[in-house]
Amino acid sequence: MRTINQFINKIREINLRYAKPKVEMSRAVKISLAVLRVYLFLLVVLMIYKFITVMNVL
Amino acid sequence: MDFFSVLYYRFKKVWKAVRLYLVIAGPGLVVMIADNDAGGITTYAATGAKYGYHLIWFLLLLIPVAYYVQEMTVRLGAVTKRGHAEAIFESFGAFWGWFSLLDLMIVDWLTLVTEFVGMTAALGIFGVPAWLTVIVVVLLMSIIVLNGRYWTWEKIALGFCLLNLIYIPAAFMVNPSLSDIAGQGLIPNLPGGLTNELFFLLMANIGTTIAPWMLFFQQSSVVDKGLQEKDIKMGKLDTFIGSIITVSIAIFIVIVTGTLLHGTPIDDAATAAKLLMKTNHYVGAFMAIGLFDAGLLGAICISLASSWAFGEIFGWAHSLNTKVKEAPWFYISFFITLATAGVVPLIPGAPLVLITLFVQVIAVTLLPAALVFLILLLNDKKTMGEYANTRLQNIVSTIIVVSIIILSTMYGVSALFPNLFQ
């Protein structure tokens, strides 16, 4: 239990340490990150769709 | 100055540059040659067996692709003194950091399983049982890493890189026709037109040339070796030489299978080695030894890429220059990753085909993100200063990265939906 708590505290500490992105958020950076989010979202949707169709076949 | 004095002066200058290169060489050579891992050997063997020498020109195109992507990690590592995972966390925040780290962990572990599959299959040809291969490999790799010095580890890894050159004598032993290689291989052509099968193989060749773990590995390796900004020039040369060697090895594999197995369907490199043994025992044996070495080299680098990345983020000591007592979590994570991946091929009925499929698909989720972050980081003038990307570097790297993203996405999606592009 103590180890789990230590691990959770460590994750919190990391999240806090890197809470604010240091790269200058220019328009190019913002657009790139937005496109990346959409790309990854679509990919995850495709994977979930594939998973559901495979499960249905089984 | 007379002629001999000039000659002597020039010789001393060149020798000094060579010695400097030998000191700095390592990260680029190791990452590039390790890129020819077990999966890579299978891809090249299948390319040669299916299309003969016809796709050699395409492999040559991958030299600048591999170089331009990887040299950016050299500059980033030498300037920031941070690994790739830490650079992403710090520059883009915790969300993208965790995404990259967890994705890296999954894709590295799955790729590591495929390396063990390759190694057990390769030594299986010589009658070595799979369990023995796994135990010996885990022990051997632990000993290599536990020596407590980055330099020693690097020199041993370079030794395994040398063994990867075994495909060169193998290619000469099959007596290929040089005129056929030049005539068929060096002139760009698409044998039989751009069919789905050809397209899939081309994408597989790109996928095996640029892998997400390579970005993380080389940057961490540059940092662990302690390369400085003044070493960037030699670090880039190291990467360039590495990219030439890795593609050359790929071409020699294509020549071997293209000469002896042209027209034979190949599912994996171990099958290719067995078939080659029927025609030329030594060439088949060389193929099997090379496959084992490729798996071993891949495993060495991939497991380290994960441990370095975790160490950077969790704040553990994470250098090969540290002893086990000083960096216990670094070595524990290395060993756990290695041992758990090694056990999988020993499980009867383990879903190895599914794992191979997952490697392709999950790598596709990480690679575009890692490449986009790489370009954005190299454009952060505040951090990179004079080593930031120039306009020309941005044009070249953006074209390469966008092409890789499109092709690797199609590769990943076609792995999920095999009938989509038919």
Whether residue B412 lies within 8 A of chain A, CB to CB, comes out as yes
In a domain, B337, yes or no: yes
Whether residue B96 lies within 8 A of chain A, CB to CB, comes out as yes
Residues in chain B: 422
- From residue B358, how far is each of A12, A48, B38, B211 by CA, in Å? 30, 13, 16, 14
Whether residue B97 lies within 8 A of chain A, CB to CB, comes out as yes
- From residue B355, how far is each of B45, B224, B293, B342, B352 by CA, in Å? 20, 31, 21, 13, 5
Cα B163 from Cα B292, distance rounded (Å): 10
Query: How many structural domains is chain B composed of?
Result: 1
Higher pLDDT, A23 or B248: B248
Question: Is the model's pLDDT at B35 over the cut of 90?
Answer: no
Domain extent, residue B385, equals 36-416
At B179, which CATH number?
Answer: 1.20.1740.10
Cα B418 from Cα B199, distance rounded (Å): 12
Q: Token pair of B308, please?
A: 């370095």
- B256-274 as b/e: b if 16+ CB within 10 A: bbbbbbeeeebebbbbbbb
Interface of A with B in 5-24 (CB under 8 A): 10, 14-15, 18-24
Whether residue B244 lies within 8 A of chain A, CB to CB, comes out as no
Closest partner CB to B413 (pick from A28, A33, A46): A46
CB atoms within 10 A of CB B186: 12
In a domain, B17, yes or no: no
Cα B155 from Cα B136, distance rounded (Å): 20
CB contact under 8 A, A36 and B368: yes
CB contact under 8 A, B372 and A18: no
**How sure is the predictor about B25, in pLDDT bands with cuts at 50, 70 and 90?**
low
Question: Is the model's pLDDT at B65 over the cut of 90?
Answer: no
CB atoms within 10 A of CB A33: 20
Which among B231, B251, B250 has a CA at the least distance from the CA of B239? B231
Question: Is the model's pLDDT at B254 over the cut of 90?
Answer: yes
Question: How much is the ipTM here?
Answer: 0.86
B388 Cβ contact list (under 8 Å, min separation 6):
B378, B379, B380, B381
- Give ∠ CA B382-B385-B390 in degrees, rounded to 5: 110
In a domain, B225, yes or no: yes
Closest partner CB to B376 (pick from A15, A32, A50): A32
**Which residues in chain A are closer than 8 Å to B418, comparing Cβ atoms?**
none
Q: What is the pLDDT of residue B422?
A: 58
Best of A36, A38, A44, A46 to substitute, by most chain B Cβ atoms within 10 angstroms, is A36
Q: What is the pLDDT of residue B357?
A: 64
pLDDT in tens, B115-137: 898 899 899 999 899 899 999 99
